[in-house]
Amino acid sequence: MQSWRFRIRPLSAFATPLRGDTLFGQLCWALRLANGEEALVRQLEGYTQGAPFCVLSDAFPAGYLPRPQLPLFALSADTEDTAPEKRKQYKNRLWLPLEKFQQPVEEWLHHCVSASDIAGRAAWQKARARVHNTINRRTGTTGEGAFAPYTVEEQWYNPGAQLDIYALVDESRFSGEMLEQLLRNIGDSGYGKDAGIGRGRFHLELSELYQLPEQGDSDTWMALAPCAPQGLGYKPEASYWKPFTRYGRHGALAAVSGHPFKNPVLLADTGSVFAPGAGPVQPLGRGLGGDGRLSVAVADSVHQGYAPAVGLNLRRVRARIERS
């Protein structure tokens, strides 16, 4: 599969986090809207049998990758005897500059930065609660139950903030250029919750073929999106992951079917690392759903359980963990 990098600039707040699996769902709806349902069905052939046409990552601060889901002491020996206040600062260092990727993983914590470091004193991203009101048309006011005011948490980005999204594309069935156009469509119409009132808008600044990085003698792969590693032969004793439960729901026309919610799925969160064994290394994971297993409303519905991955050399990190 070809690997691509897309750089976007947010134009509004986001009411839904930019995660790879959610973005893939919206991509499918954008493809259906642009080219028809038959085109989407063709692209999804073999999706749950290890043949995805496209795999998307989360959106990361431009020029950074997420810190792997490893114990702090495995990323730096300096954390073992530090004060709790200092350890808390280390925990906030979530982002690794791409230019430091080839440094030994056991030294990464020294190179990682926090969200506030990326944009200086001002936070690169802020979470704010916004109040929604639902008006009862009979009384002209809010009220109780379905008409009670409620809040929605939104993510706001600094002016000029940019985000990188990585993608794997099966060039025999799809193309980076097609993906670029569909991302532009999503950015124009809005991504996720409350897109109809202006949330989730973005502008596509850059699209390019981009080789996802690998360290020399990589023996482990880090997921750049939530993924489903179950049953694929990864070595559990040499892998490290954080569980993440996705409570999905349908968008677009399927949202008004009377059954908007999908069955929950258990995933490994972004930054989880897996030793391949017999499992695939690029992409990590597998496709979920089909045959009514994921949704009552849309029996053929699938979920992205795949993730683009970067290769890590964790031999010395494992040795440190085993000695602890």
Per the model's pLDDT, the better-predicted residue between 139 and 321 turns out to be: 321
User: How many other C-beta atoms lie within 10 A of the C-beta of residue 8?
Assistant: 24
- Contact yes or no for 252/6 (Cβ under 8 A): no
Alpha-carbon separation of residue 36 from 44, 177, 305 (angstroms)? 13, 18, 24
Q: How many helices (H) and strands (E) does the chain have?
A: 8, 18
The residue behind tokens 């109809």 is 196
CA 165 to chain centre: 9
Which stretch of 44-58, 67-81, 134-148 has the lowest confidence by average pLDDT?
Answer: 134-148
- The three-point CA angle 71-231-281 to 5° equals 65
Per the model's pLDDT, the better-predicted residue between 255 and 122 turns out to be: 255
- The three-point CA angle 200-201-204 to 5° equals 125
The predicted-structure confidence for 195-242, as pLDDT tens digits, reads as follows 989 999 999 999 999 999 999 999 999 999 999 999 999 999 999 999
**105/30 Cα distance (integer angstroms):** 38
Indicate the pTM of the whole model: 0.90
Q: What was the pLDDT predicted at 136?
A: 59
The predicted-structure confidence for 160-192, as pLDDT tens digits, reads as follows 899 999 999 999 999 999 999 999 999 999 999
